[in-house]
Structure 1
Amino acid sequence: MSERRVRPRPVAGTVLLVALAVTLVPLAYLFSVSLMGRDETVAGVLWSADPHWSNWADVIATDIPRAILNSVAAAVGGSVLSLALAVPGAWAIVRHHAGGRTLAATLMSPWLLPPIVAVVPLLILLRVLGLNNTLLGLALVYALVNVPVAVWLLEGFIRRLPVEIEEAARIDGAGSVRMLWSVVAPLLLPSLVAIGIIVAILNYNEFLLATFLTQSVDSQTFPVALSLFYGDRTPHFGKIAAASFLGVVPVFAAAVFFQRWLVGGLTAGAVR
């Protein structure tokens, strides 16, 4: 029997090339702008004849690197806390029908409101807890804000887990906490990584809450620090582009490094 030859698929190749162009061309132009002088950015040139590498040196000398680290810390910390709260919540909703059919929608409804309505209550709450203007307080806020998203995403994955595995664990004497930690969580690990990345990116890109809850330079996140570059009457778009490119690096690095986990987690349970 002759082996089946894999036929080239021009349509798939074309779609892949278009997707790569849509993704990489804006980044390439952003890098090009980061090497332009103040006059070149408004002249409409694609590449500077005299690259200004000093733009990158000037940006690195500012508080942008610290702000990027602050954003990563708040994003990852908030994501981990969100998952820690969402796993038992989603499990209780799916397996024990906690809250009936409306609990999941009720949890999701506040997330759809404009975040500005929660700024004052959150600011007062963090002041009472002594966590105002701290990364820990911001991570806690991010965790609470994105719990509904994590619960909503986890419900579908938990429904696909075989109930027989949990029943066998109960027969062996495992309680609810032991079952969640030793049985459910390991089975959900790829999905937890994927959802954690999604929630972390939401936290990393958040601007409004970070603006009001972190006023000092030591706790400012990257979106807040980047917005300060526009404070000048004639902003230097080359430096803004360099700072923006630096801020994009952690997100792309996470997507590349966790690509296998992200794809595997999002497709888990799609095929039995």
Structure 2
Amino acid sequence: MTTRRRRRTAWVVLVIVAVITLVPIGYLLSLAVRPPADVLNSSLLPTRWTLANFTAVFHTIDLGTMLQNSWASALGAALLAVVIATPAAYFTARRFHGERLLTALLASYCAPPIVAIIPLFFLLREVGLTNNVLCLIVVNGIANVPVAAWLLDGFVRRIPIEIDEAAVIDGLSVAGAFRKAVLPLLWPGIVAALLVVFFLSYNEFLFAVYLAVTKESQTLTVGLSLFQGDRNVQFGQQAAAGLLGILPVYVLALAAQRYLVGGLSVGATK
């Protein structure tokens, strides 16, 4: 009975947490299917239903281009961050006092991004990288290297160092041992780091609103802020755009939840 009660209690807690988590998404859907006159009635459920917001949003903003820019910049940033962070994590996990480098990387991530906006803007403008997706890829990718390195460091530490030593004894260099012996075992961690950095870059707003201001380079997060006019806010269309933006990301997160949970648990327990 005790075990059954514990299981039932655990299931009840999980259901409550799931409901609380899904309430904002449910209310967002409620706003998205309301006509403009029904948005401000302060009720949780709409009194009238409409799908006009999902079509009107494409006329209000260039939603297709913004979604494309968001996905392209997030994917590029994830690849860039992992390419840099993978050898960095190997160094921090295998070398003496490597933890100091990892600590320095994480300390840099704690600084507020707003302090880097002005120097970044002038630096990127000098090299012609403002107002394009490549700018966001570079900035978000480098900014998330500490997170990727922190996640991958835990995976590297779980690989026995004897594998490296055996590869070196067989005639491989340190770089060769990393590439041929360690890297194939790191793929679960690499996938987890790619996913985490992708989600962080996809949701990023500060860099996007300052460094990509043209219509051709704006991302979804910037587009959602454009619905706030001088006199009114188009809540229905804003909610519809938000749903269209997060739906594929939610599907990706559910499909890859095994890698996400594994990556976050390794980083937390190493």
TM-score, scaled relative to structure 1: 0.89
- Map of 2:214 onto structure 1: 216
Please give the residue correspondences for 1:11-30 in structure 2 after superposition, counting only pairs within 5 Å.
Answer: 11-30=9-28
Match of 2:69 in 1: 70
Q: Are residues 7 and 14 of structure 1, via their aligned partners in 2, closer, same or farther at CA, if it must alter by over 3 Å?
A: closer
Which segment is superposed worse, 226-235 or 44-53? 44-53
* Aligned-pair Cα RMSD in Å: 2.2
Following the alignment from structure 2 to structure 1, what is the Cα–Cα distance between the partners of residues 254 and 201?
Answer: 18
1:41/1:146 CA distance change after superposition, 3 Å:
same
Q: Counterpart in 2 of 1:132?
A: 130
**Please, which moves more after superposition, 260-269 or 138-147?**
260-269
CA 1:145–1:255: 2 relative to 1, 3 Å? same
Q: Is the 8 A contact 1:72 1:204 kept in 2?
A: yes
How many angstroms does 1:67 deviate by? Answer: 1.0
Q: Report the alpha carbon displacement of residue 101 of structure 1 after superposing the two structures with TM.
A: 4.6
User: Are the equivalent residues in 2 in contact too, given 1:160–1:269 (CA < 8 A)?
Assistant: no
The C-alpha deviation readout for 1:229-270, integer Å capped at 9, x for no partner, is 113411121111111111211320210121232234445699
The structure whose residues are more often helix, as a share, is: 2
Residue 210 of structure 1: how far off its partner (Å): 0.8
User: Which stretches in structure 1 are left out of the alignment for 5+ residues?
Assistant: none
Cα shift readout 1:104-134 (whole Å, capped 9, x = no counterpart) = 2222222211111111221122123222111
Report the CA distance shift for 1:106/1:54 in structure 2 as closer, same or farther (over 3 A).
same
CA contact (8 A) 1:34 1:55 kept: yes
**Residues 64 and 222, structure 1, Cα contact 8 Å, conserved in 2:** yes
Deviates more, 1:260-269 or 1:44-53: 260-269
- Give the alignment of 1:33-112 within 5 angstroms: 33-61=31-59, 62-97=61-96, 101-112=99-110
Contact 1:68 1:221 in 2 (8 A): yes
Instruction: Please give the alpha-carbon distance, in whole angstroms, between the structure 2 residues aligned to 1:202 and 1:178.
Output: 32
Deviation at 1:213, TM superposition (A): 0.7
- The one-letter amino acid of 2:64's match is P
**What is the aligned partner in structure 1 of residue 160 from structure 2?**
162
| CA distances 1:157-191 after superposition (whole Å, capped 9, x unpaired) | 21121001111111222223333332222211111
Unaligned runs of 5+ in 2: none
Which residue does 1:237 correspond to in 2?
A: 235
**Which one-letter code corresponds to 1:145 in the other structure?**
A
- The separation in 2 between residues aligned to 1:158 and 1:236, in whole angstroms, is 48
Distance in 1 between the 2:44 and 2:137 partners? 39
Q: 1:267 to 1:247 in 2, by over 3 A?
A: same
Structure 1 residue matching 2:228: 3-state secondary structure: helix
Call closer, same or farther: CA 1:49–1:269 in 2, change over 3 Å.
closer
Moved more, 10-19 or 102-111: 102-111
Question: 1:68 deviation in Å?
Answer: 1.7
Aligned counterpart, 1:178: 176
Aligned residue identity for 2:78: S
User: Quick check: 39-48 or 195-204, which moved more?
Assistant: 39-48
2:160, 2:32 → 1: CA distance?
52
Q: Distance in 2 between matches of 1:264 and 1:110?
A: 25
Instruction: Give a deviation string over 1:56-91, Cα, whole Å, max 9, x none.
Output: 101134312321221111111111111110111111
3-state SS of 1:109 partner: helix
Residue in 2 aligned with 1:146? 144
Describe the shift of the 1:162–1:208 C-alpha distance in structure 2 as closer, same or farther (beyond 3 A): same
CA distance in 1, matches of 2:19, 2:142: 37
2:151–2:189: 8 Å Cα contact kept in structure 1? Answer: no
Structure 1 residues 129 and 240: CA distance shift in structure 2, 3 A: same
Looking at structure 1, the residues matched to 218 and 176 of structure 2 have their Cα atoms a distance apart, in angstroms, of: 39
Letter of the 1:142 partner, please give it: N
C-alpha displacement of 1:204: 1.0
